[in-house]
Amino acid sequence: MNVEAYLAERHAVVEAALARALAPDDGTPPRLLEAMRYAVFSGGKRVRPILALAACEAVPADPVRAVPFACAVELVHAYSLVHDDLPAMDDDELRRGRPTVHVVYGDALAILTGDALLTEAFRVAAAGARDVGIDAAQALDLVARLARAAGASGMVGGQVADLAAERAVADPALVESIHRRKTGALIAAAVEAGGVAGGATGARRAALAEYGAALGLAFQVADDILDVTAPTAVTGKKTGGDAQHGKATYPAVVGLDGARDVARDLLSRCLAAVGGLGPAAEPLRAIARFVVERAC
Amino acid sequence: MNVEAYLAERHAVVEAALARALAPDDGTPPRLLEAMRYAVFSGGKRVRPILALAACEAVPADPVRAVPFACAVELVHAYSLVHDDLPAMDDDELRRGRPTVHVVYGDALAILTGDALLTEAFRVAAAGARDVGIDAAQALDLVARLARAAGASGMVGGQVADLAAERAVADPALVESIHRRKTGALIAAAVEAGGVAGGATGARRAALAEYGAALGLAFQVADDILDVTAPTAVTGKKTGGDAQHGKATYPAVVGLDGARDVARDLLSRCLAAVGGLGPAAEPLRAIARFVVERAC
């Protein structure tokens, strides 16, 4: 399959859904909405929501059923970037080649913009699930799982561990533990939510969970590699920023070649996990290859 | 009824439930959990969760059914205080007589602590609803309502409008609009969630909604008044802090006596709203009197 055409088509579906989620309403101050939209419509590749749609297709089911959770995951991702970039955190002034939210809107509004995006994520998931006909008990379970993936034992916990590990002596086990929480948990949640929204149970659901866990880690390993090797024009970030911040990364603990071996091994695990799902899972396979191969 | 005894008893129920919600787990970094607990167990009166329990009782129903949403609302409230106190926001170093979270744990961890508390709120609501037997479709609706009350068109929107109004010429309509979103929406959501968790429908649900909207505004008017009149020993905050920050408050736009008139009028509306609910609503009436009378 043509993965770039697939990604472009699904990207358009996600953009439209996010635009509906962030439409003006009576109570939202216009400048807050503007900052939220600035954060969300910033040229992101939408890998997480597209994974949710692809997992739903792989079940197989109509991907429209995955749209609410796909949007919710992307809003969580967008909020995390706004807060990560703050001066008190990573202090980044550039993201995807544009000034970061706090540079444009100030620190106070950036904090509140992140808070609003995180909150809207749960509104979109809970309110949208009904609209696409997901069973309420299952949707409630997915809301709880999304919160677990995004919260203290998931993404936020990983971010805290990441900050604590800066300038410390890291080892591969610590880096994996940080990456699995900081990046992996939300990606795995996207895949799982997409599958469950599509009606996956039993072996299919387990296969998707295995794929999601391996891909979530692979995504961050690839990101670590690209941070070292890719120019700003490709990543929209400063080359070597992780090393400058003393971040715990795979290239730092196992070297570039070692990190590439880890990424390739994770790709094999992704492909093996969904090997039994037939042609409907081809988008999931293509996305895994796309994520890993641009770094290897 | 003895409102202080009632509040003390319900306070203990809320503390125990919050302690369960913030128990150690495998993935949460210990220092993050410590900061979350520091923020949540800080001597708060637990007015919001107790209102949820009281609304559930007023239906009448077993208040245990309201516990998950009661905790969720309190976690949202706790996160909002952590973020509001940040140097980039109100820059407060003291809250309830103790150093604020960022003073103790640093700005980065304070931001992440707030993020984690907000996320856990939705986990607790979604995962807990099933445990107490709330209908899944209704619980999903309450999750969406909680997000709306807490988010861009509710609490966060009110906070943005509040910051924008600092040092500006405010009028009563603007102050009411800010207060209804910044404080009122979450209190109203607590009352509504408690009632719905208890099975309220139709006229009972509408009565609780009316009570919640009036009490939510009354609460902030009383807070505005106490900010001017009460010593630090009572509020745990600097006396006159709102005026120093140039905040849009009722005393600033209608004077202290005018603000007291507004508060008393709102109390009448609270009492009228739940007048038809009989003795089961006595705790709601007592809480409304308690909130308003200590400021009047």
Q: Give the C-alpha separation, A187 to A181, whole Å.
A: 10
Query: DSSP 3-state assignment of A210?
Result: helix
Q: Indicate if the pLDDT at residue A143 is higher than 80.
A: yes
Q: Indicate if the pLDDT at residue B234 is higher than 80.
A: no
- To which H or E segment does residue B6 belong? helix B3-21
What was the pLDDT predicted at B293?
Answer: 94
CB contact under 8 A, A156 and B109: no
Contact A280, A59 (CB under 8 A): yes
Q: How confident is the model at residue A135 (pLDDT cuts 50, 70, 90)?
A: very high
Query: For the residues A156-171, what does the mean pLDDT come to?
Result: 89
Tokens at A8, concatenated: 């472009």
Q: Give the C-alpha separation, A121 to B132, whole Å.
A: 24
Q: Would you tell me the crossing angle of helices B155-165 and B172-179 to the nearest 10 degrees? A: 140
Query: DSSP 3-state assignment of B288?
Result: helix
Please tell me the distance in Å from B107's CA to the nearest CA on chain A: 6
Sign of CA dihedral B157, B159, B162, B166: negative
What was the pLDDT predicted at B233?
Answer: 66
What was the pLDDT predicted at A51?
Answer: 98
Q: How confident is the model at residue A166 (pLDDT cuts 50, 70, 90)?
A: confident
Beta strands in chain A (DSSP E): 94-95, 98-99
Q: Give the C-alpha separation, B50 to B190, whole Å.
A: 9
**Nearest residue in A to B27, CA atom:** A153
**Nearest residue in A to B154, CA atom:** A27
* ipTM for the complex shown: 0.96
Say which range, A73-87, A232-246, B179-193, has the weakest mean pLDDT. Answer: A232-246
**How many other C-beta atoms lie within 10 A of the C-beta of residue A99?**
14
Q: Give the C-alpha separation, B71 to B52, whole Å.
A: 9
Q: Which residues of B touch A132 (CB under 8 A)?
A: none
Contact B203, B274 (CB under 8 A): no
CB contact under 8 A, B153 and A25: yes
Length reported for chain A: 296
Q: Give the C-alpha separation, A259 to A172, whole Å.
A: 10
Whether CATH 1.10.3720.10 fits B3-293: no
Please tell me the distance in Å from A140's CA to the nearest CA on chain B: 6
What was the pLDDT predicted at A230?
Answer: 82
Give the distance between the most distant pair of CA atoms in chain A.
Answer: 54
Query: For the residues A161-180, what does the mean pLDDT come to?
Result: 89
Q: Give the C-alpha separation, A88 to A107, whole Å.
A: 9
What was the pLDDT predicted at A30?
Answer: 96
User: How far from B31 is each of A62, A161, B157, CA to CA, in Å?
Assistant: 43, 9, 30
Q: Indicate if the pLDDT at residue A171 is higher than 70.
A: yes
pLDDT tens, B14-55? Answer: 999 999 999 999 899 999 999 999 999 999 999 999 999 999
What was the pLDDT predicted at A168?
Answer: 78
Ordered by start, the domain boundaries in chain A are 3-293
What was the pLDDT predicted at A123?
Answer: 98
> Any alpha helices (H) in B26-106, and if so which ranges?
30-40, 47-58, 67-84, 101-105
* Verdict on whether the full-model pTM lies above 0.90: yes
Q: Is A214 exposed, middle or buried (0-12, 13-18, 19+ CB in 10 A)?
A: buried
What was the pLDDT predicted at A233?
Answer: 66
Q: Which amino acid is at B191?
A: V
CB contact under 8 A, A122 and B143: yes
pLDDT tens, B259-274? Answer: 999 999 999 999 999 9
Contact A256, A229 (CB under 8 A): yes
Q: Give the C-alpha separation, B234 to B295, whole Å.
A: 12
Share of chain B above pLDDT 70, in %: 98
pLDDT tens, A191-247? Answer: 999 999 999 999 999 999 999 999 999 999 999 999 999 877 666 667 777 888 888
Q: Which residue has the tokens 């202080």?
A: B4
Q: How confident is the model at residue B244 (pLDDT cuts 50, 70, 90)?
A: confident
Tokens at B171, concatenated: 């009028």
Say which range, A248-252, B148-152, B166-170, B231-235, has the weakest mean pLDDT. Answer: B231-235
Query: DSSP 3-state assignment of A94?
Result: strand
Phi-psi region of B73 (alpha: psi -120 to 50; beta: other; left: phi over 0): alpha
Which DSSP category does B181 fall into? I
What is the count of residue pairs from A and B with beta carbons less than 8 Å apart?
Answer: 177
Please tell me the distance in Å from A6's CA to the nearest CA on chain B: 32
Residue A28's nearest CA partner among B57, B23, B154, B231 is B154
Please tell me the distance in Å from A133's CA to the nearest CA on chain B: 11
Residue B247 neighbours by CB under 8 Å, 6+ apart = B162, B165, B166
Query: For the residues A99-107, what does the mean pLDDT come to?
Result: 98
Q: Indicate if the pLDDT at residue B140 is higher than 70.
A: yes
A43 vs A231 pLDDT, higher one: A43
Q: How confident is the model at residue B236 (pLDDT cuts 50, 70, 90)?
A: low
Q: What does the mean pLDDT of chain B come to?
A: 95
Residue among A116, A140, A159 whose CB faces B112 most closely: A159
Which DSSP category does A1 fall into? -
Q: Which residues of B touch A181 (CB under 8 A)?
A: 27
CB contact under 8 A, A83 and B111: yes
Say which range, A61-65, A97-101, A226-230, B194-198, has the weakest mean pLDDT. Answer: A226-230
